[in-house]
Amino acid sequence: MKISTTVSQDFIRHVREILRLCLNDVKTGGGRRQGINGFSFHALPTYVCAVAAVEAFVNETLLSQLPEMLIKDSALWSLPREWREKRIEIGVKLVLLPQLLFGKTFARDTQPYQDMDLLIKVRNDLIHYKMSGRIPNYLKPLEDRGIALRDKGTTKETRAISPWPHKLTCTEGVRWAHNTACNTVRALFDFGTDGWKEVNQPLLENFTPIPEADIIKWYEEEGIDPFSA
């Protein structure tokens, strides 16, 4: 049985391509940098694309005709098609669908689901951004993890000077979005049955995380100290 044309691979590949563009921005010195994390205006669309890659993978592998043929006795197929395809948002799909199909699912209080849930919130907040002074509660933890860029100051007033989306407009934010999508897809894949895995294995190859060591190596090859700035 062969896999038809997919779009999940296009979405996740686009995230990787944008990471390359962002790193090139860093190389030209076009924005501030904090260690390996550099500012780039190319970054923001990746949060949307990374979530889209996961949702596309879910739809392609769990809601297409293929799983209906492979796992015919699942309670999933008793739900109205409109519910399972349009009424259920991606965070719920990730928990509900593998449970109904495979009898296993994500623990919502552990990784990678926690980061995926956070990535979905970031995507939603960016899409619905209203230019207000509200700073999302998750921004400080992302700064502490080196994913978002930090302000020089630490007070709430100082932190509010830069629009919060600009703090996520950075290379490590892109890599985090990419790896969160990849880790989520790989964990989802592990829940599957042997027959389902065999058919969908080619899709999994598109979702390979990018380790920090690769980014450090890129900086060194470009003659940039990855731990400066």
CA distance 191 to 98: 7
Q: Using one digit for the tens of pLDDT, what is the confidence trace for 171-182?
A: 999 999 999 999
Q: Using one digit for the tens of pLDDT, what is the confidence trace for 200-213?
A: 999 999 999 999 99
Full-model pTM = 0.92
Q: Using one digit for the tens of pLDDT, what is the confidence trace for 71-128?
A: 888 888 777 777 766 678 999 999 999 999 999 999 999 999 999 999 999 999 999 9
Token pair recorded at residue 6: 């997919």
The answer, yes or no, to whether residue 156 has pLDDT greater than 70, is no
Under the banding of pLDDT at 50, 70 and 90, the label for residue 153 is: low
Average pLDDT of the chain to the nearest whole number: 90
Supply the angle between the helices 45-62 and 113-127 in degrees, to the nearest 10: 120
CA distance 27 to 109: 38
